Amino acid sequence: MASARPHRARRLDRRERRVESVAAAAFLVVAAAMPLALGSSRAFAPVLAGALVAVHAIASRVRLYVGAGYVMPTQLVLIPMLFLLPVVSVPLVVAAGLVAAAGFDVVRGRAHPERVVTGIADAWHAIGSSLVIMLAGQPGAGAVTWQVIALALLAQSGLDVLTAIAREWFGRRIRPTLHAGSLAMAPLIDASLTPVAILAASAAAARPTSVVVVVPLLGLLAALSADRRHRIEDAARRLEALRAEEARLDRAISRIGQTFASKLNSTALVELALRTAAEACRADRGRAAIGERVIQIGRSDKRLDRALFAAREAVEAQGHGCGASCGEAFALGHPLPDGTVLTIARSGEPFSEDDQRRFGSLVRQLGVAIENAALHERLQQQATTDELTGLANHRRFEERLRHEVRRSRRSGRPVSLVMLDIDDFKGVNDTYGHQQGDRVLREVGTAVRRACRSTDLPARYGGEELAVILPDTDLDGACVAAEAIRRAVDALELPLADGGRLGVTVSVGVGAVTAGGDAGSLIAAADAALYDAKRAGKNRVVRAGGRGRFNQRSPEAGRETAPAVPRAIEDGAGAAAAARG
């Protein structure tokens, strides 16, 4: 008897219940019609029939798992039924044994009552062998020929396979190839058990109670079945563990992607390392302190927090990774090269040596990653910062200006540019030397940076020329900002080697993005205004556009924080025609 049901019981869906109900009803009709249509010379013995039903129920509970299903050794009981009972009653007796086995599970709460219906449908195989024995004249176990036995086995197996394929196909849409293993093994097991069953039937012909001799064999098969089931369950648990490990690996890969997305930020790296360590070591909580910032993951628990604190103190005292415990809370700690200590903790189970090894390896890799992050930040700083003034370099200036101009086009918000040049800078170098010239550039850069908002970008444009990008600032607001910058520079007094002091001034040009303008046209407009400021006498602010003299407006006019009233703001829009001083 074969079944392609899963090893674990489950509820049938609506389609399966419909198919199984039809198969069970059709079986009952055929099995009930056989005694009415076909006679039998044997008398029906209720006690013997009851005993055979009980033994058949026992055999039905022994499941030899094969492939996607299992095979039941009911052949040991079916053969004696064919030679001890009226053959026409055998299918109904077999169904009664299957129903009794299913009913036992239903009573114990291990199966749904619908399994009684499937038990009846599983009895179709008995009709095939019963019909062959009837056509052979209902011989006894001692008089039956092997040809009749072989024909009965063939009819039994054929009807069993056909009904199983039909039920699985119509009920679950499972192709026969998916459970071919169990379908093929059923006839082989039935054939191997048939000789033993015939011997039991021969013994029972003289003494009916002898049929119980098959029970020890069923016990042996049950033991083998239990061992097989345990092996299957163990393999299933291992598979589940592998799937859980695969899920953990997927999460670790996801965190690696987050690390790449974190732009190599050391704080983000530490947090990701804590989460990965907690996942790898099955920890409930993690903690790390970076400067004044404390990073914590997992649920808050006083015992775990005490264990984390103890682990950190142990690491700080010993200088290397170690563990600590606080009652039923256990913790691991490991230091980074900069002195930061990472700690993880969990309840109920100490960390193993493998956990300590994994955690230490992860923290060491984290130390390398943080060093790389710091190096990356330094390189990025060097790539975008002017070394002398500390302002953005020309490359960073151009990237930011293009970005702000594109943003202005999309949003319609203004953006302005201030260009300034140190007056008479060549004379400073010629008179006081290049070291003093460098000092002037540094001090002017500092003054410009202090006069800017956090959203502005001051940059060294080239040589002694500086620039400031002013997002969300119109031309009038940019002129106010430019005058604040000019005054901040004008207030500088730099000490000289001979005890004197050097004053510094700048000429400033201001431009703003116009309709259809781009970064190049904005630079050209501000640069042209700068030249006009030089020609007009230096140490002044000139705006691009030629709209007449600029008057100081209220702070709300395009700039949140306005400086004092400008001293000399001229208009100008001429092309760059004069050399700068």
Q: Are residues 135 and 20 in the same domain?
A: yes
The pLDDT of residue 411 is 87
Residue where a domain stops, chosen among 236, 252, 279 = 236
Instruction: Work out how many domains the chain is built from and give that number.
Output: 3
Inter-axis angle of helices 519-535 and 394-411, to 10 degrees? 110
For every residue of 287-304, DSSP letters joined together read EEEETTEEEEEE---HHH
103-112, 469-478, 527-536: least confident range:
103-112
Q: Are residues 15 and 139 in the same domain?
A: yes
- Phi-psi region for residue 463, left (φ > 0), alpha (ψ -120 to 50) or beta? left
- pTM surpassing 0.85? no
The number of C-alpha atoms within 13 Å of 264 and in the hemisphere containing its C-beta is: 14
The pLDDT of residue 330 is 93
- Catalytic positions are 464
pLDDT tens, residue by residue, 321-345: 899 988 889 999 999 888 889 999 9
Of residues 489 and 568, the one with the higher pLDDT is 489
The Cα 255–Cα 249 span in angstroms is: 10
pLDDT tens, residue by residue, 157-188: 888 888 888 888 888 777 776 666 667 777 88
> Across all residues in the chain, what is the average pLDDT?
81
Q: Are residues 142 and 88 in the same domain?
A: yes
Q: Are residues 229 and 269 in the same domain?
A: no
Of residues 253 and 206, the one with the higher pLDDT is 206
Parallel, antiparallel, or unpaired for β 2-3 and 69-71?
antiparallel
In a domain, 315, yes or no: yes
Q: Are residues 552 and 409 in the same domain?
A: yes
pLDDT exceeds 90 at position 63: no
The pLDDT of residue 398 is 93
Q: Are residues 372 and 402 in the same domain?
A: no
Q: Which helix (H) or strand (E) holds 570?
A: strand 569-571
Of residues 98 and 552, the one with the higher pLDDT is 98
146-155, 211-220, 527-536: least confident range:
211-220
User: Residue 574 is encoded by which pair of tokens?
Assistant: 């001429």
Segments forming the whole domain that contains residue 282: 262-376
pLDDT exceeds 80 at position 441: yes
| Measured CA angle at 174 (ends 173, 177), to 5 deg | 145
The stretch 481-502 carries a mean pLDDT of: 92
Q: Are residues 370 and 401 in the same domain?
A: no
Q: Are residues 446 and 567 in the same domain?
A: yes
The Cα 301–Cα 537 span in angstroms is: 72
Residue 509 contacts residue 542 (beta carbons within 8 Å): yes
The stretch 429-455 carries a mean pLDDT of: 93
CATH assignment at residue 565: 3.30.70.270
Could you tell me the end-to-end alpha-carbon distance of the chain, in angstroms, rounded to an integer?
106
Q: Are residues 218 and 309 in the same domain?
A: no
In a domain, 253, yes or no: no
Q: Are residues 203 and 140 in the same domain?
A: yes
In a domain, 544, yes or no: yes
Q: Are residues 544 and 461 in the same domain?
A: yes
What's the length of the chain? 581
The pLDDT of residue 557 is 34
Q: Among 344, 349, 379, 361, which residue's Cα sits nearest to residue 274?
A: 344
Q: Is 221 helix (H, G, I), strand (E, B) or coil?
A: helix
The pLDDT of residue 492 is 94
Residue 480 contacts residue 562 (beta carbons within 8 Å): yes
Question: Using the 8-state DSSP alphabet, how is residue 544 labeled?
Answer: T
In a domain, 244, yes or no: no
pLDDT tens, residue by residue, 410-433: 888 999 999 999 999 999 999 999
Q: Are residues 355 and 422 in the same domain?
A: no
In a domain, 382, yes or no: no
